Amino acid sequence: MAASSSATTPLLRVRAVQKSFGSTHVLRGIDLEVARGEVVSIIGPSGSGKTTLLRCVNFLEPYDQGSIAIDGVEVGYRGDETRKRRSERDLARMRAETGMVFQLFNLFPHLTALQNITLGLTKVRGLGRAEAKDKAMHWLGRVGLTDKADRLPSELSGGQQQRVGIARAVAMEPKILLLDEITSALDPELIGEVLDVVLSLAAEGMTMLTVTHEIGFARDASQRIVFMAEGTISAEGPPAEIFSANQSNERLRSFLARFSAAHRL
């Protein structure tokens, strides 16, 4: 698993990825690159394959064809001709290089906020207890939850839980952070506190691939927008271009029109 981390290779490289659930063809040949330090947001109607693509990147979802490489290393299958699925141990090691934040937070309900973060630090990164705790407290501080360290997830608001979710992911120092509709399950007044954390991480150069319904956030935080429809990338470009009034892509235009109509209500 030699990594070729020259500045020219993209950090994430997705090539011709195909994926079906039974007879439903969810991803129909996806090509996508994300450079080091870049923030890319995927938008698109539900059912277009956005979340599936994101879940393929850390192999939560195995893909049928194509290749996904992080820092030059094939993710789910061995890079050689055999294309054999990686062993459980290799997969775990690969996944530790990507952080993921989930729509429904998925915090471990039996562990405190602090323990949610230290679990990976001690078991995967091999840090000692004290070191893991220091690091976890540092990240809890970054998301403004130092005083909630010993609380169980059920004692936290949705916005607080999601901030712990972000701290849990970034504390592992992943090469890339995957954000899967992380504000979709939040009350509107709690969305801001979560997005602020993400914006500050972006400002520090964290590489991120996000799936989002927050068009405003996508525009402000991302260098590039990817518009997916029916399992393909239908349009791709900088926010100014994608959201421009004279956008020529018919599907994108009608998606944005329906979207802004729904949000003006």
Partner 1 sequence: MLDQIAYAIPFLLPGLLVTIEVSLITVAVSTVIGIVLGVGLVYGPAALRWPIRGFSDIIRGIPILVLLFFVYYGLPLTGLNLQSFAAAVLGLTIFKVAQVIEYVRGAIETVPRGQMDAAKAIGLPFHERFFYVIAPQAVRRFLPPWLNGVTDAVKGSALISLLGVGDLLFGIQKVVARTYDPLALYCFGALLYFVMNYALSIASRALERRFSYIRE
Q: Which residues bind partner 1 (CB under 8 A)?
A: 55, 58, 60, 88-89, 91-100, 102, 104, 106-110, 119-120, 123-124, 152, 154, 168-169, 172
Residue with Cβ nearer partner 1 (57 or 242): 57
One-letter amino acid at 160 equals Q
Least distance (Å) between residue 1 CB and partner 1? 14
Query: What is the smallest separation between the CB atom of 216 and partner 1, expressed in angstroms?
Result: 27
Q: Is 73 left (phi over 0), alpha (psi -120 to 50) or beta?
A: beta
| Residue with smaller CB distance to partner 1, 166 or 256 | 166
- The torsion angle over the Cα atoms of residues 222, 32, 169 and 2, rounded to 10 degrees, is -130
Helix and strand totals (H; E) in the chain? 9, 10
Those residues whose C-beta lies under 8 Å from the C-beta of residue 99, and which sit 6 or more positions away, are 169, 170, 172, 174, 176, 177, 178
User: At residue 57, what is the residue type?
Assistant: V
The residues facing 77 across adjacent strands are 85
- Tell me whether residue 179 or residue 242 sits nearer to partner 1 (CB atom): 179
Least CB distance to partner 1 at residue 95 (A)? 5
At closest approach, how far in Å is the CB of 25 from partner 1? Answer: 23
Minimum CB distance to partner 1 smaller for 43 or for 169:
169
